[in-house]
């Protein structure tokens, strides 16, 4: 079974949010009211973050909340203009901290992994 089929068959529905057209205020902060924000529902296999994810992100000031395996064609970005993409996972609002293409350790197949960090108060 390839990773996309696994995600489709066993994943949970999450909400993916991204800035489609960014507008900034005079201090070059994202103006959420003037920006175009888009959302979509997609399937993701949700797991606890790995020890490696904690180590990679600790120097960036992020604490990973979840690791998501998403469909390979999902356009998820950490460096999108305006701000990183966001997810709502199991009721928690999270921001993308890392996107990587890696291999499943046991199945030896390529997959797309998104590491998200929790947002306080959204």
Q: How far apart are CA 41 and CA 48, in angstroms?
A: 21
Cα 77 to Cα 1, 100, 116, distances in angstroms: 26, 10, 11
- pLDDT band for position 63 (cuts 50, 70, 90): confident
Cα–Cα distance between 3 and 48 in angstroms, integer? 18
User: Is residue 100 predicted with pLDDT exceeding 80?
Assistant: yes
Average pLDDT estimate for 2-24: 91
**pLDDT beyond 70 at 64:** yes
- In 3-state terms the chain splits into helix, strand, coil percentages (rounded to 5) of 15, 45, 40
Q: At residue 20, what are phi and psi to the nearest 5 degrees?
A: -85, -35
Q: Using 50, 70 and 90 to split pLDDT, how confident is the model at 84?
A: very high
Mean pLDDT computed over every residue of the chain:
89
Question: Is residue 49 a contact partner of residue 66, using CB atoms and an 8 Å limit?
Answer: yes
């Amino acid at each position: 079974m390839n990773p996309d089929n696994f995600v489709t068959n066993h994943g949970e529905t999450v909400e993916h949010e991204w800035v489609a057209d960014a507008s900034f205020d005079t201090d070059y902060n994202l103006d959420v009211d003037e920006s175009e924000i888009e959302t979509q529902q997609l399937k993701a296999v949700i797991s606890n973050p790995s020890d490696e994810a904690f180590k990679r992100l600790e120097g960036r000031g992020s604490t990973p909340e979840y690791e998501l395996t998403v469909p390979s064609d999902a356009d998820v970005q950490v460096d999108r203009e305006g701000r990183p993409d966001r997810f709502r996972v199991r009721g928690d609002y999270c921001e993308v901290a890392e996107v990587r293409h890696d291999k499943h350790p046991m199945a030896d197949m390529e997959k797309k992994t998104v590491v998200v960090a929790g947002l306080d108060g959204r």
